[in-house]
Amino acid sequence: MVRAALAGRKVGREPVPLATLVPAASVVAASALAVLPIVSASGWWPNLGLLMLLGWRMLRADAWPAWWAAPLGLVNDLLTGAPVGMSMALWTALMLAMDIIDRRTQWRDYWIEWLVAALLLAFAAWVEARVAALNGAPPLLTSTVPAAAIEILLFPLAAYAAMRIDRWRLGR
Amino acid sequence: MAAPAGPRPGWSRRAQYGLFFAFLAAIAGIIVGLVLLALSVVSPKSYQAVRGAALDVMAPVTVAFSDVSATVSGLASGAGAYWDAADQNAALKAQNTRLRQQILTANAVIQENRQLKATLRLREELREAVAAGRIVGSSFQSPRRFAILSVGTSDGVTVGMPVRAAAGLVGRVIDAGANASRVLLVSDRANVVPARILRGGIPVISTGRGDGTVDIRPLEVGRNPFKRGDIIVTSGTGGLYPPLVPVARVIRLDDDGAIGIPLADPSEASFALVERPFEPAAGADLPAEAR
């Protein structure tokens, strides 16, 4: 028999329809997880939209054009109640920083990706703390450092999710 | 792994132009984001309609999920009531008797209070709640402490109204959509509640610390007036929060103040009442409502 007939549905698949929009949709879905009825006293949960954004960008540079980070950031701001414009500017700046890092590095493995993501997430947490301070609510270090550490430690999960979604959407 | 295929345009002039304009659009996105952020910081009121609309979009989902999780956790806690039921029963009966005696004393004090106020010809208005809702969500990803309340402008809630639960003060409304609103909790860093210690009436200021506790400082310089277990109640100063609403309980002492934990736990599935500001005429220096 033809070997493809024995392999079932795993061979000869095409990319899903609207495959170019799937990465951005997954970032919006991660931001939309903010509607979960979690009442937290300390706010140490990670920024899920930002984690998916960095997970996708580390995986592929062509997940979306760099300027898509602005509307994705606007949606994140509206869904999480952050000051409107903070995620827009921050996420676009992170995309440009990733473009610069892409051009400067020839080869990177998982640890370097995690390290770069850790630096970018620490910068994002610092920006969030400064904007909160501008709005009259400077957070204590005992609030921001554990939250940033949890985000950094959860980055591999986001990278794995991005990788699996990428395999699914491309039909591989 | 090798660096992913970056945006290298190659020799195609169209691809080169496309990349150039994509970068221009990204820079424009950063500038637009910074302008919007500056507006957010400088004049928060300009975003109230947008934030209210976003709340209306997400709140129905949150309320639905919160109903489901309240039912499930109710089943779990209901099952726990059957464990060691006889001992629980005896302890609750003893507590009940003690509390009934305290209620009798409290009723007598309330009667005496009414007679004294009538003697002084003090007039007070009856206060009733504007709306009653549930805390269904919160800002769990952010250093700000917000909570989502399941009532909005269609129930009469407006920005700036104080919110209280049966156990104590919850916070004040900072964003209001048609069906849901956002509450700034007392444990947020930007929430300042003028209060007093119940034992002795010493005036204090309670500021949130951003991690679920509040920082309580006395207004007068001197010896640390706090003791562990002190109850802090609102004093009515400032005109926003009504007086004698419990705020927090002191858990440890600081160098010249104390750290307290708010008595109203927002994660409890109980009702939150939204009331009118206590004395709007005194509200000339009310804090910026959308913060």
A-contacting residues in B 71-130 (Cβ below 8 Å): none
Using a CB-CB distance cutoff of 8 angstroms, which residues of chain A are in contact with residue B212? 41-42
Out of A41, A89, A142, closest to residue B30 by CB: A89
Note the helical H segments in A36-109.
Answer: 48-59, 69-80, 86-104
CB B191 within 8 A of CB B172: yes
**Minimum CA–CA partner of A61 in chain B:** B6
Secondary structure (3-state) at A129: helix
**Given an 8 Å threshold on Cβ–Cβ distance, is A35 in contact with B40?**
no
pLDDT in tens, A43-72: 899 999 999 999 999 999 889 988 999 999
Contacts of B266 in chain A (CB under 8 A): 39, 41
pLDDT value of position B290 = 40
Cβ-based contacts under 8 A for chains A and B: 207
Give backbone dihedrals phi and psi of A27, rounded to 5 degrees, phi first.
-70, -40
* Token pair listed for A7: 């392999």
- Rounded to two decimals, the ipTM of the complex is 0.88
Give pLDDT tens digits for B201-252. Answer: 999 999 999 999 999 999 988 889 999 999 999 998 988 999 999 999 999 9
**3 state SS of B184:** strand
Return the percentage of chain B with pLDDT > 70, whole number.
92
Residues A85, B29: C-beta atoms closer than 8 Å: no
What residues pair up with B216 in beta bridges, in sequence order?
A: B206, B258
- Does residue B8 sit at the A interface (CB-CB below 8 Å)? no
Of the candidates A39, A48, A135, the beta carbon closest to that of B267 is on A39
Average pLDDT, chain A: 91
A106 → closest Cβ in B3, B54, B136: B3
**Rounded distance between C-alpha atoms, residue A57 and residue B7, angstroms:** 12
Mark out the alpha helices in chain B (DSSP H runs): 13-42, 48-80, 85-119
Q: CB–CB of A62 and B5 under 8 A? A: yes
